[in-house]
Amino acid sequence: MYLNFGLLFALASIALSFNLLPDWRSLSDSNNELPQQPLDLPIASDSITPPAKISKNRELKGRFLHITDIHPDPFYKENTDTDTACHRGKDEDGTTGKYGHPNSRCDSPMTLVNATFDWIEKNLKDEIDFIVWTGDNVRHDRDNKHPRTESHIFDMNKLMVQYLDFLKSDDPIQAYEMPVVPSIGNNDVYPHNLFAEGPTLQTQEFYRIWKDLVPENQMHTFYRGASFMTEVIPGKLVVIAINTLYWFQSNPIVDGCDRRKDPGHKQFRFLSIMLQEFRERGMKVWISGHVPPNSKNFEPSCLDRYSAWMHEYRDVVVGGLFGHMNVDHFLLLDSKAKTPELSVTEKNSMKFTCDIEDDDDIISTLGKIEYLDDLRESYAEIEDDDSGLHTRYSMSYVGSSIIPTYLPGLRVWEYNITGVEEAQNSVYSNGQPFRPWSEVFNEIEQELARLDEEDEYQPLGEEELAMSSIDFQKKKKKKADPTWPPNFGKHVNPGPAYVPQTFTPTRYVQYFANLTAANLGDKEFTYEKEYSTDQSPYNMPDLVVSSWVDFARKLAREIVGNDEKLDISAGKKKKKNKKNKKDKKKKEKKEKKNKKKIRESHKAWQVYLKHAFISSGFELLD
């Protein structure tokens, strides 16, 4: 019944006409000049000479911007009630200000959106190489007096593209001075969360909206599923924008990735062909998307596949960039883990609840603390592997949002560009040119068309379902499911995510906007540094997986207890030393040292919680 109800909404939406919204940017206080804020963006010590070129007019800086979840709301009004989504009524506590209401369910006023892009233009335009933009460019549907329509959603996405005009290029071939890679969020579609397999009205309209951002030779592939790739450094580095709604538990018209007819299943065929092509060309890849890969969000059959592909292509994939959760945190995906399947009742309840409550997160705002506590416990369970580099794990980074669910935040990444000129050029292999990209996308089209005609794959038995993604590869049947990656074993050399090399992320700087001070007029609106990963309590020399494992274990030490249960350097239980037991002084010294580490763990976790909620103080609220 619920599925049919959702489909009726989707069919009804096709009849809606498209009416362009006015340029809300012009409604803001255009005379409000933003200060030229000095950034913590030193010239990277690993920059090369002569500088590499990202285009004929731009030199590589070794930095990029990740921005997500803007949620612009043209109906937002100052001094209004949060119970009305800050649209009307009286603000009793005086916190619904010019730039938004911190720690609330209200969306972003246009003044915040305008000020954010003004700040990016003045401070980052000439300091970054590309932008990753992970979706949700429309307000939530939280006000019955201003219901969202499909035309409104499309128009707001068109408007958000207009905010990129400061990057417009004079080059007739390249629309913007730098690549911008967008992806679709669960609130960018109508009804929210619901996204069917393409070609559909939505996939075709999004291509029209993003025609200057999505390469033309990927039009037909985009029509099918709204996923695409962009060479952010031509021939060297790629960002794949994955439509994570096909793997999203809250999308009522998808049902995992096991069946051939599932759009999530077909999307893995797209991903498999792309990753293999990148490997052959020697290119490195960032995965980007809206919904992050965890058991709260992804269908279990999709999450296990995703973890397996990240592991088997560990020589290619740098990491994943996501949004949606509004909470700043990181995920270590274990390729050997098996995600528990939800019961039919649990799955239906989750889909129904998320669609009816118009909340963009599976977990409620008040449940975020519990979510992070669970995440901390998962950090305590990290194990070592034979590689010594923790290659069984892959990194996914969940960025802070612009919407002031807590406080607005954005992130500037820095990455190693040493040797980028010498990195393999993806045009030639052994003196012979690679096939043109158009042939690659034709292959994807043919493969997806073939899957439409084939019978279902052999269903998995109970034994296979109980296996981990890696063990499953060892027991494939004759008619193997190609949405699982081949097992490359130890023959794959670890890539930039595991060993420092070209394109390894070296650090990131997190910025936030203090709306409380800006709303009161105590200071002009700006984004200021919140923290960076090379400073306490992170103290990371680089952002390879082993650095994150060390930090995760540091955060978890307090709940584990002592070194005999968790050894930060090895992650294994230590054997009790009888000699140390007899030696009272050594034992006391060891206990003192362990207590110090537990105190450090507690302090680090408190700072991590503060940063998770963008220094808004949310974790301290009752």
pLDDT at 52 over 90: no
For residue range 178-231, what is the model confidence (pLDDT) as tens digits?
Answer: 999 999 999 999 999 999 999 999 999 999 999 999 999 999 999 999 999 999
pLDDT at 23 over 80: no
pLDDT at 43 over 70: no
Mean pLDDT on 407-434 = 81
Q: What's the pTM value of the predicted model, to 2 decimals?
A: 0.85
User: How do 72-73 and 428-429 pair as beta strands?
Assistant: unpaired
Contact by Cβ (8 Å): 71, 187: yes
For residue range 287-306, what is the model confidence (pLDDT) as tens digits?
Answer: 999 999 999 999 999 999 99
Q: What angle do CA 104, 110, 116 make, to 5 degrees?
A: 90
Amino acid at 13: S
Rounded CA-CA distance 182/187 in Å is: 14
Domain ranges in the chain are 63-420+437-454+483-553, 556-569+583-620
pLDDT at 570 over 50: no
Rounded CA-CA distance 385/258 in Å is: 28
Mean pLDDT on 343-349 = 50
pLDDT at 123 over 80: yes
For residue range 473-528, what is the model confidence (pLDDT) as tens digits?
Answer: 544 443 578 899 988 877 889 999 999 999 999 999 999 999 999 999 999 999 99
Question: From residue 422, how far is each of 313, 340, 541 by CA, in Å?
Answer: 22, 44, 24
**Rg (Cα) of the chain, in Å, rounded?**
24
pLDDT value of position 172: 85
Half-sphere exposure of 401 (CA within 13 A, CB side): 31
Rounded CA-CA distance 64/319 in Å is: 14
Q: Which residues pair with 528 in a beta bridge?
A: 512
Identify the band that residue 374 occupies on the pLDDT scale cut at 50, 70 and 90: very high
Identify the band that residue 386 occupies on the pLDDT scale cut at 50, 70 and 90: confident
Identify the band that residue 429 occupies on the pLDDT scale cut at 50, 70 and 90: low
Q: What average pLDDT does the chain have?
A: 83
Which stretch of DSSP H or E encloses residue 58? strand 58-59
pLDDT at 608 over 60: yes
pLDDT value of position 95: 87
pLDDT value of position 37: 40
Give percent above pLDDT 90 in the chain: 64
pLDDT at 53 over 60: no
Q: Which of 38-42, 94-98, 173-177, 309-313 has the lowest mean pLDDT?
A: 38-42
pLDDT value of position 263: 94
User: How do 58-59 and 53-55 pair as beta strands?
Assistant: antiparallel
Torsion angle defined by CA atoms of residues 240, 244, 246 and 248, in that order, rounded to the nearest 10 degrees:
160
The sign of the torsion formed by the CA atoms of 419, 423, 427, 432 equals positive
pLDDT at 48 over 90: no
pLDDT at 468 over 50: yes
Rounded CA-CA distance 241/287 in Å is: 6
Rounded CA-CA distance 413/397 in Å is: 11
pLDDT value of position 472: 52
pLDDT value of position 424: 61
Rounded CA-CA distance 224/196 in Å is: 10
For residue range 254-268, what is the model confidence (pLDDT) as tens digits?
Answer: 989 998 889 999 999
Identify the band that residue 164 occupies on the pLDDT scale cut at 50, 70 and 90: very high
pLDDT at 355 over 50: no
Q: What angle do CA 208, 213, 214 make, to 5 degrees?
A: 70
pLDDT value of position 31: 36
Contact by Cβ (8 Å): 291, 354: no
> CB neighbours (10 Å) of residue 590?
16
